[in-house]
Amino acid sequence: MTRLLDSRPEPDDATRAGDGSLDAEAIENITDRKESEQEVQRLDGHMRKAQRLEAMGALASGIAHDFNNILGVILGYCEIALLDAPEGGHLRRDLNNIMIAGERGRALVDRILGFSRAGAGEPSAVHVEQVVREALNLIAARCPAGITVESQLRAGRAAVWGEPTQVHQVLMNLATNAIQAMETGGRLRVGVDVEDLQTSRAVVSGTIGEGEYVVVAVADSGCGIAKGYLDRIFDPFFSTKDVGVGTGLGLSVVLGIVNEVGGGIDVRTTLGQGSVFSVYLPRVGDADDDAAEIREAPLPRGKGECILVVDDEEALARLAEQSLRKLCYVPETFISSTAALAAFRANPYRYDVVVSDERMPGLSGSMLLHEVRSIRPDVPTLLVSGFIGADLVGRAKEIGADHLIRKPMSMRDLATGLAKVLARPAANTAPDGS
């Protein structure tokens, strides 16, 4: 007879019936043992997965911090270059695309930090069509020559509740797959529409309830998906692509996001003719401001106020210096928080605002601002950090920082932050991260 548990000894003869077969109680014992062994294996697997995730989280937050600083330099110099780029020209359009990509990168870092620590970025009403339009610019820029990109954007300002980067990731992953499916060229069509479902609908990811949805559809005229693969394409690490081309994570990320916002995803495909992926995102009214309009609005400028800036990353300190000069302020930069404190102590009324990075060796930004405030309680302060979570907001409140800026800090963030703190009485006002 076949052994149930290969690594274990055979049950002794007393458990065997007269004909040598196992009696019912022995079989039950072995089944119990096997089940508990499977349970142990399952828990062990969960534990190892949790440990792996924890290690990944720590690694991700380290990378995110450094990446944020790199992004800060890219975005910062791009913003400075934009100030001199002629209206309506190619250069301005290209620089704007760098800014859009950089801002998405910044939002992505937020998500990575949110994954590795509690409290991800704040969700808000996302202007889907706006995000899709921005992503389309990036897609068109990197699309191979034989592929035409068409779009039909008909959702107006319809919004979904989440983060813009989620919508961006969904579209980028679906469009990348579509492009990869059309090796010999073809048509990539992207649509955004509002659909009002009167009854619930069964889709590939499950059932979506009745109500209004913003539907993002990505269609290609590529190879299509074989029937046998259709129920596996959303599995993590399922890929039919060569190593180095696909990791098999794109669609599982898409599905994760869609589930997170309470939506659904549907797929229609014909082998050799193409596929259509339709993502249903629950609508939450309309989005208000147009991000592009905000980006184009004139920057508030200073009137020669002296700003003390501290960042231990020299490139970022120099960038802040240049940005402040462009904004008509007089910067004084330090890459050491203790040196900055000494300068402030020596001449506290020389500075109109103190701007400090949070994460610095020795004296952190919040410690520095606390010291600065104890020397001169009315000095306006700005704290800059790569991760604005509940912890930092609490700490900032305690020390009385007037305003928080998320890193990488754009020139616009800096300009509006300074205008805000200079326009209001500095002492005893609650900080905010807006």
Ligand X SMILES: Nc1ncnc2c1ncn2[C@@H]1O[C@H](COP(=O)(O)OP(=O)(O)OP(=O)(O)O)[C@@H](O)[C@H]1O
Residues at the contact surface with ligand X, assessed by CB under 6 A: 173, 177-178, 181, 220, 222-223, 225, 233, 238-241, 246-252, 275
Peptide bond into 236 cis (omega under 30): no
DSSP characters for 381-409? EEEEES---HHHHHHHHHHT-SEEEESSP
Give phi and psi for 284, each to the nearest 5. -125, 65
Residue 222 binding partner per list Mg ion, ligand X, none, with a CB distance cut-off of 5 to 8 Å that depends on partner kind: ligand X
3-state secondary structure of 189: strand
User: Which residue, 250 or 386, has its beta carbon nearer to ligand X?
Assistant: 250
User: How is residue 198 written in tokens?
Assistant: 């009167």
User: Which residue, 171 or 409, has its beta carbon nearer to ligand X?
Assistant: 171
Residue 105 binding partner per list Mg ion, ligand X, none, with a CB distance cut-off of 5 to 8 Å that depends on partner kind: none
Contact yes or no for 180/251 (Cβ under 8 A): no
Q: Which residues bind Mg ion (CB under 5 A)?
A: 177, 250
CB of 180 to Mg ion, least distance (A): 7
DSSP characters for 15-64? GB-TTSPBPHHHHHHHHHHHHHHHHHHHHHHHHHHHHHHHHHHHHHHHHH
From the list 325, 299, 276, the residue with the least C-alpha distance to 415 is: 299
Burial annotation 166-179 (CB, 10 A radius, 16+ → b, else e): bbbbbbbbbbebbb
In sequence order, the β-bridge partners of residue 213 are 195, 282
CB of 272 to Mg ion, least distance (A): 20
3-state secondary structure of 279: strand
Residue 239 binding partner per list ligand X, Mg ion, none, with a CB distance cut-off of 5 to 8 Å that depends on partner kind: ligand X
Euclidean distance between CA atoms 386 and 170, whole angstroms: 24
The residue number whose beta carbon is nearest to Mg ion equals 250
> In 86-180, at which residue ranges do the beta strands (DSSP E only) sit?
124-127, 147-153, 158-162
**Structure letter (DSSP) for residue 374:** H
Euclidean distance between CA atoms 189 and 216, whole angstroms: 11
Residue 181 binding partner per list ligand X, Mg ion, none, with a CB distance cut-off of 5 to 8 Å that depends on partner kind: ligand X
The residue number whose beta carbon is nearest to ligand X equals 250
User: Which residue, 164 or 250, has its beta carbon nearer to ligand X?
Assistant: 250
User: Which residue, 224 or 300, has its beta carbon nearer to ligand X?
Assistant: 224
User: Which residue, 239 or 338, has its beta carbon nearer to Mg ion?
Assistant: 239
User: Which residue, 224 or 348, has its beta carbon nearer to Mg ion?
Assistant: 224
User: Which residue, 250 or 380, has its beta carbon nearer to Mg ion?
Assistant: 250
CB of 167 to ligand X, least distance (A): 17
CB of 49 to ligand X, least distance (A): 19
CB of 381 to Mg ion, least distance (A): 45
Euclidean distance between CA atoms 230 and 277, whole angstroms: 12
Euclidean distance between CA atoms 324 and 411, whole angstroms: 8
Residue 170 binding partner per list ligand X, Mg ion, none, with a CB distance cut-off of 5 to 8 Å that depends on partner kind: none
User: Which residue, 249 or 343, has its beta carbon nearer to Mg ion?
Assistant: 249
CB of 96 to Mg ion, least distance (A): 27
CA dihedral for 162, 163, 165, 168, sign (positive or negative): positive
User: Which residue, 223 or 421, has its beta carbon nearer to Mg ion?
Assistant: 223
- Burial class of residue 48, CB neighbours in 10 A (0-12, 13-18, 19+): exposed
CB of 264 to ligand X, least distance (A): 17
User: Which residue, 99 or 251, has its beta carbon nearer to Mg ion?
Assistant: 251
User: How is residue 218 written in tokens?
Assistant: 């990505």
Angle between the N-to-C axes of helices 250-260 and 164-181, in degrees from 0 to 180, rounded to the nearest 10: 150
CB of 250 to Mg ion, least distance (A): 3
CB of 139 to ligand X, least distance (A): 14
Euclidean distance between CA atoms 396 and 399, whole angstroms: 5
CB of 188 to ligand X, least distance (A): 10
